[in-house]
A and B are shown apart, each in its own frame.
Chain A
Amino acid sequence: MQLYDIARVIRSKNAGPFTLTMDLFFTDITALKKVLNSPAFTSQTISKLYQVRPEEVRIIPFEAILAVKVSLPRFVGSGAPTDRDVYGAQQHFPLGNIEI
């Protein structure tokens, strides 16, 4: 099953002009754990998808509200030439494609 289908909410947004942050919310702890424990959901795999270095990807679970945050550097500064998404609001793909 793809991450997009498992998540209740999956959203992306700038956290400042040079960082992209993606929030995933789940309906129950089982779904969250399944994602967190998946070998497809690691800094390594996400770094490949977003073409950044693995050490630049931060995965921070927030279990109290069944959420996990993924933060990584933007491809280019917000609104600079060659940027495709000034607010970073549609960059939760390719993350959503991850097969869990």
Chain B
Amino acid sequence: MKPSEIHYLSLCGMLGYGYPLDNFKHGINPHVCFIGADNGSTDPGPYYLGSGTGFVKSMQIRRDLEPALLTARKQNIPLIIGSAGGAGAKPHVDSFIKILHDISHQHKLHYRLAIIYSDIDKKQVLDALQQNRLSPCGPAPTLTEKRIHQSSHIVGQMGTEPFIEALEAGAQVIIAGRSCDTAIFSALPVWKGFDPGLALHAAKIAECGALCAVPAGANDSLSVILSENHFIVEPTNPARRCTPESVAAHSMYEQPDPNCFYEPEGKIDMQHSQFTSFGERAVKVSGTRLIPPARDTIKLEAAVLKGYRTISIAGLRDPSAISHLEEIEAGVRDKVAQNTKGIIDPNAYSLHFLRYGLDGVTGPREPLPAPLPREVGLVIESIASTQELADTVLSLARSTALHQPFEGRKTTAGNLAFPFSPSDVSCGPVYEFSIYHLLETQKNQPLFKLCIEEI
């Protein structure tokens, strides 16, 4: 039988970024019927998906996961975690599962675990490309067969369906690969028969923890109560409160359109959403509706290797050197090219100068400051086809930049202040997002692999 309302807790905005344990415990009561947390994002860039590594370290995950797992088991309620390990590909999920196993073993926990993998077979993506079932999600670059082959891990952002399948299988802990943030928090309510429009809107707010509150707190818990015609959000930390403005403002966070957002379940239309105060610290939301999609889609993500990076950081204080930085940069490029002629293919590397204090952040989109600043921070970067080549090019560029002459130079012993020795840092592989496309799915072609394990 469908309950009249459903109460759940969002642990924090990002599992691993830390949250105050007291505020989490404060949010736990016998009415709470599941705990959810998001563990991933594309925000930290393509490197993590491409390389299969996490942007949050194991110790951080363990610290945040342990109390949530112990509490969920003690209360006998599901713990649902999406985008496990960061980017949600198999290496990320497996490293997360290892931590989960360790904690479970240590505390002698027994439960049914569902692992949902989000890795999409390249063959399926290639077929979809041929059959015109792939479309760029926003201004993503054109996709080719070559780009698909080059991509290291292709993941699909799962919606509520695979989570519901895991719940139906009796899972008490669900660890999912790449997931729509909303699926983590809306799957159980949708499964129980609650309105998907409201459930998805509530989930969109819940996935960031108490970021929708005042003061905003991404690393803090949020309580959600979903009913037939509305939902109520309230931060568990008594020092925070939700206001209609703060919750409405959060609804448009990280989305290109303030009136709606899109999920595999359809378009979540917020044009008629009402946000009203509920008591001192809670906000009640109603009027959101789901418009089912014309075609079923899943968003795919992938990254390709672009080379290897080496950087050097230096400061400039000499006014003349600061005002001649462009000339210095051009001179360095020239000398590196001359010096490596016949030895290094000029197409095998690139050199970049990032000039903090001048235009490091916004680049050519803003004029240079006038007057020029007293100091400038310089990052010299090389990207090349191998790490050794990137190191070599950077080493040459760095020593050249130190001694590069320019018009009216007084600082003839050196242009740059290097804070560190060694001055050069090998940064490893550089990736770029290659796939950010909607895949039109086909009936009877499951994309996400569900594994059930008895712990």
Contact = CB atoms under 8 A, between A and B. Distances in A.
A60 B365 contact: no
A77 B434 CA distance: 9
A19 B256 contact: yes
A17 B45 CA distance: 8
B366 A94 contact: yes
A79 to B, nearest CB: 3
Interface in A15-55: 15-19, 21, 23, 25, 49-51
Given A60-B257, A94-B362, A82 B352 contact: yes
A62 B260 CA distance: 11
Interface string B101-129: 00000000000000000000000000000
The A interface is mostly helix, strand or loop, or mixed, namely: loop
Contact of B46 (A66, A78, A82, A85): A78
Interface string B313-357: 000000000000000000000000000000000000010101000
Given A62-B252, A81-B306, A18 B431 contact: no
A16 B137 contact: yes
A91 B365 CA distance: 10
B141 interface: yes
A51 B383 CA distance: 25
Contact of A73 (B43, B138, B255): B138
Contacts, number: 125
B436 interface: yes
Interface residues of A, number: 42
A25 B249 contact: yes
Contacts of A69: 252, 256-258
Nearest to A51: B365
Interface string B356-373: 000011111110000000
B430 interface: yes
Contacts of B432: 77, 79-81
Interface string B63-88: 00000000000000000000000000
Given A21-B256, A69-B258, A97 B43 contact: no
B361 A85 contact: yes
Contacts of A16: 42, 137-138, 140, 436
A80 B46 contact: yes
A85 B253 CA distance: 18
A94 B368 CA distance: 12
Contacts of A13: 253-254
Contacts of B42: 14, 16-17, 78
Interface in B185-205: none
Contacts of B245: 65-66
Given A15-B256, A58-B256, A49 B430 contact: no
A90 B306 CA distance: 25
A17 B256 CA distance: 12
Contacts of A23: 249, 252-253
B306 A15 contact: no
A49 B430 CA distance: 28
Given A51-B365, A84-B361, A93-B362, A73 B139 contact: yes
B249 A80 contact: no
B433 interface: yes
A85 to B, nearest CB: 6
Nearest to B306: A81
Contacts of B37: none
A78 B45 contact: yes
Nearest to B243: A65
A7 interface: no
Contacts of B252: 23, 62, 67, 69
A56 B139 CA distance: 9
Contact of B259 (A17, A18, A60, A97): A60
Contacts of B352: 81-82
B47 interface: yes
Contacts of A60: 257-259
Contact of B257 (A56, A58, A86): A58
Interface of A: 13-19, 21, 23, 25, 49-51, 56, 58, 60, 62, 64-67, 69, 71, 73-75, 77-87, 90-91, 93-94, 97
7 A-B pairs closest in CB distance: A79-B45, A80-B432, A73-B139, A71-B256, A62-B258, A86-B45, A17-B433
27 contacts: A16-B436, A17-B140, A18-B137, A18-B138, A19-B139, A21-B254, A23-B249, A25-B249, A50-B365, A60-B258, A62-B258, A65-B244, A65-B248, A69-B252, A71-B257, A75-B365, A77-B432, A78-B43, A78-B46, A79-B45, A81-B383, A84-B363, A85-B361, A86-B44, A90-B361, A91-B362, A93-B361
Given A67-B258, A79-B46, A87-B44, 12 more contacts: A13-B253, A18-B436, A19-B256, A21-B254, A25-B249, A65-B249, A66-B245, A67-B252, A80-B431, A83-B45, A86-B45, A87-B43
